[in-house]
Amino acid sequence: MKDGHRILVDEADRLWNVEQIKTLVAMGYKGAYSYECFAPSVHADENIEASLKTSIKLIENSAAQ
């Protein structure tokens, strides 16, 4: 994948980020996670704050299941 593919995590999570988080938590990890959205479409998002909140909430809710 290239930077242009690195969008906000959404329901179509192609890299299985939530599954990776679940695995790390199950193994006892309690540290920080990197959230690197380099896609120009993310940078151009005029409503980035709301988009980030939506994406992070999706990750939190999905990882808690």
Q: Is the dihedral of CA 55, 60, 63, 65 positive or negative?
A: negative
pLDDT tens-digit profile of 5-63?
889 999 988 889 999 999 999 999 999 998 888 899 999 999 999 999 999 999 999 98
Taking the model in full, what pTM does it have? Answer: 0.82
Task: Kindly tell me if the per-residue pLDDT of 1 is higher than 80.
Answer: no
Distance CA 49, CA 47 (A): 6
